[in-house]
Amino acid sequence: MNKITVLFSIMVLSIFTVTNVFSASLQSDEFDGNGQAISDFWNVKDGDKSEWELKDGSLSVVAGFNANVWGNDDSTRYSQTVDQDQFDIETSMVVDYVDGSTVAGLIVYSATSKDSQGRDGEWVTLKLWGRGAAQGNNAVLQYQRRQNDAAALGYVGTQPDYNPEQGVIPIEMRLKRDGDVYESWFKPNAEGDWVPVGKVTNELQEPLEVGIYAGIADADGPGKMTVTFDYFREASAPAPVDPQDRLTVTWGELKDW
């Protein structure tokens, strides 16, 4: 009888433990540690590729090379592992880049999902792609899954009317999950109304690694990038719908506001 009781207790404990591995909720972070270690709810991937620190209420990342998010996820990534059917996340960042191919943004990554080419690992990402001299040293906003931004599925290879020149680029990003549906928005110049980007369906298997990242796609210089993340938040308010004519505003007009 005692053996049965012990066995039953172990089974109950095991079930409780497994359930809680993937039941953590996303945690907001204002990055106000100022030199202290990053909060322990973050997992840092490829942290040795980039120099990073908490500084002046922000997470500052001097991005390293060979750190793209396209065919593979090789960036320096700060993520939280969760099992949530619904969430609504946002970040505000300032990207300062020159002379290289750079990436920074929000990502929802599933290590156990197959991508469109049958490879292990799939994701949804909203990213600022800073482009090098071959593309005119300017940036574009992209909404992608792994090595794919099919417009017919709701992804975006280049967000219309947004094409800032290299240098200092403030931007806010937002990404919402509702089951298998992911929807995104951004704020050019990190102000004003949310501008819609795209809505997609992607059956990502849990657990999910949700967070922010930065990297330089090139193998070596001369490219440079520093990303200053002001915060990472799980938003409580419903995502607003932006007026249709907002999309016709050009980047040049935005800079003059």
Q: Is the pLDDT of residue 7 over 80?
A: no
Torsion sign over Cα 249, 250, 253, 257: positive
What per-residue confidence (pLDDT) applies to 135? 95
Which residues are CB-neighbours of 142 under 8 A, at least 6 positions away?
125, 126, 127, 128, 129, 149, 156, 157, 158, 159
pTM for the model stands at: 0.84
Q: Is the pLDDT of residue 18 over 60?
A: no
What per-residue confidence (pLDDT) applies to 36? 82
Q: Is the pLDDT of residue 79 over 70?
A: yes
Least confident of 191-195, 198-202, 222-226, 236-240: 236-240
What per-residue confidence (pLDDT) applies to 196? 98
- In the CATH scheme, what is the code of domain 26-237+246-255? 2.60.120.200
Higher pLDDT, 212 or 15: 212
**N- to C-terminal Cα distance for the chain?**
77
Residue 55 CA: distances (Å) to CA of 80, 115, 227 = 21, 36, 12
90, 173 Cβ separation under 8 angstroms: yes
Q: Is the pLDDT of residue 106 over 60?
A: yes
**Phi, psi dihedrals of residue 204, rounded to the nearest 5°:** -80, 130
Q: Is the pLDDT of residue 249 over 80?
A: no
> Tokens in use for 99?
């002379």
**Stretch 4-25: mean pLDDT, rounded?**
43
115: nearest Cα among 82, 72, 179: 72
What per-residue confidence (pLDDT) applies to 24? 73
- 56-67: per-residue pLDDT in tens? 999 999 999 999
Task: Kindly state the helix (H) or strand (E) to which residue 19 belongs, with its residue range.
Answer: helix 2-21
- Supply the Cα-derived Rg of the chain in whole angstroms: 19
- Tell me the one-letter amino acid at 181: V
86: nearest Cα among 181, 207, 209: 181
197, 156 Cβ separation under 8 angstroms: yes
What value does the mean pLDDT of the chain take? 87
Higher pLDDT, 8 or 225: 225
What per-residue confidence (pLDDT) applies to 236? 53
What per-residue confidence (pLDDT) applies to 4? 45
Q: How many CB atoms lie within 10 A of CB 112?
A: 12
What per-residue confidence (pLDDT) applies to 246? 37
**Phi, psi dihedrals of residue 19, rounded to the nearest 5°:** -60, -40
